[in-house]
A and B are shown apart, each in its own frame.
Chain A
């Protein structure tokens, strides 16, 4: 099966002149249609830069990003605008209030990306996606400010779905939500990948939240993929020291004893050692499973 998203040997540098810094040092990542891939990394690891490169918002130094077999890395000008306008890739942000236009009703938000065909057709489209995300129809005439956090995130997802994307990039989609709302949004993502065969790249700093959601996990550390594997492999048998540090840091209600501080301290020191050397060499070991 060809990958829906295929990132290969991607190098991205940001900044100008002497301040130019390489953020991504040769990243490989794939997402198949209908697959949910978790991208995990701490603040500053490069996960948002990677997402922006997939959207064509930042230029790659080298390497490729291909979507549905079509390379988007080299697109410029009109071709790039056409790619963005096609809606193939849609982005869901952590804080939907900031990504929704406060002066646009839910209805107008849902249909804004559709090529105008006629009132009746727009109505059908809006009702269709609203139902798909279980958004109560009486919310359609309301403004984002009148909705709860979970409802807003549903609107953001519905708007993204309305243009029939192939790939959804979700950047911390549930971090700002309450536990029970979080569940309904994650269940919605699971449903969408089933019914629409959409690929999802789920970006988060919270490794624990990927359990039961992601099929595979990609661990990004200092601009490099240090480990990939199925969610079970990563959670139950992590191999890279950074992944092991992450897994032993997540508190669990099933632990008899709190995680061993000594083990974590040893892992932390090991990982810090890796970070110190990573600035001038590419020696962070990479581990690839599944």
Chain B
């Protein structure tokens, strides 16, 4: 077990952040443990508090447990991987105790997610519009024609130009950035409160990434959507999130307001991540300039 000496401070920092903003906690994760099929534990007691309307970042390298934590929250762990301890509560409702069917109903209406590779979540032989309209019919019970109308509206709201044309296109006809917008449209159809974006912009060109991040920021501002952003990229977290949780080997080693954590990192691993980030990349050049 590797509960780091800093995890107690981390919890306090997160609680302070929530307290300062005076916002109600939407999602609370306490002591979450996740184990894989052979019994070995991969997430070792993670605590997270997500205030309503906030944007919370989970950062760490691959294998750090950030994605499994999200999947546990969604109730979508891979086969053989299960929650072996802790609590996940959404507005006070304990999720881990809910039967699978009830949890499935929460997905889409209360919490939703978008992932790295949008094309793999769409049926290649059905137009994206028809797939979006299906979600509208199943999740909020719209009639066929109303669903179609609302789908075009949503595509337009996602910043897609010529939404009626996009509606009738197949996934292979759209770029990665357009597909991610379609997936975001699907994920918010039933107006969930929490959207989890797990490396949602990692595979996109930088200019497209910037547009998708902007869209998420708008959704947060205009619809009060709460965001949980999972990324290996400190800069994306820095741009998007109020608070950040740094994951390493299945534990949170540091958490707190993003600006504080990135400027005055307390845990050596956070310092290492920042140093690595600034070793190469645009931030290295900017750092050199600021030191001159």
Spell out A's residues near B (CB within 8 Å). Answer: 42-43, 178-180, 182-183, 186, 205-209, 211-213, 231-232, 235-236, 245-255, 258-259, 261, 264, 268
Interface of chain B, main secondary structure = helix
- Cβ of B289 within 8 Å of any chain A Cβ, yes or no, is yes
B131 CB-CB contact with A under 8 Å? no
Q: Contact at A254–B283, with CB atoms within 8 Å? A: yes
Let me know if A252 and B62 touch, CB within 8 A.
no
- Closest Cβ–Cβ distance, residue A15 to chain B (whole Å): 19
* Alpha-carbon distance between A21 and B240 when the two chains are bound, in angstroms: 41
Q: Is the CB of B236 within 8 A of A43?
A: no
Decide: B277 and A179 in contact? CB cutoff 8 A. yes
Interface size class of B (residues with CB under 8 A): 35 or more
Chain A proximity of B213: nearest CB distance (Å): 7
A221 to B: closest C-beta gap in Å: 11
Is B81 at the interface (CB under 8 A from chain A)?
Answer: no
Contact of B276 among A183, A213, A235 (CB under 8 A): A183
In the complex with contacts A42-B205, A43-B205, A255-B239, A264-B210 CB distance below 8 A: yes
Q: Is A254 within 8 A of B286, CB to CB?
A: yes
Provide the bound-state CA to CA distance between A95 and B28, in Å: 39
Interchain CB contact under 8 A, A251 and B210 = yes
Shortest Cβ distance from B272 into chain A, in angstroms?
9
Q: Kindly state whether residue B97 has any CB partner on chain A within 8 Å.
A: no
Instruction: Identify the B interface with A (CB < 8 A).
Output: 61-62, 175, 205-207, 209-210, 213-214, 217, 232-236, 238-240, 262, 273-274, 276-290
Which chain A positions have C-beta within 8 A of B214?
261, 264
Interface centre among A186, A246, A250, by most chain B C-beta atoms within 10 angstroms, is A250
Which residues of the other chain, B, contact A208 by a CB distance below 8 angstroms? 206, 235, 281-283
The answer, among B206, B235, B284, B289, for a CB contact under 8 Å with A212, is B284
Nearest-neighbor residue (CB-CB) of B277 within chain A:
A253
Contacts of B234 in A (CB 8 A): 253
CB-CB under 8 A for A245 and B207, given A236-B289, A261-B214:
yes
Q: Would A235 and B205 be within 8 Å (CB), given that A212-B279, A249-B210, A251-B238 are in contact?
A: no
B239, B280, B283, B290 — most chain A CB neighbours (10 Å): B280
**Contact yes or no, B282 A235, CB < 8 A:** yes
| Cross-chain contact of B233 among A247, A251, A254, A258 (Cβ < 8 A) | A251
Q: Is the CB of A179 within 8 A of B276?
A: yes
A161 to B261, CA, bound (A): 41
The answer on a CB contact under 8 Å between B205 and A251 is no
Contact between chains at A179 and B282 (CB < 8 Å): no
Which partner residue on chain B sits nearest A259 by CB separation?
B210
Instruction: Give the residues in chain B near A235, CB-CB below 8 Å.
Output: 282, 285-286
Q: What separation, in Å, do the CA atoms of A213 and B276 have in the docked complex?
A: 14
Bound CA span A42–B210, Å:
14
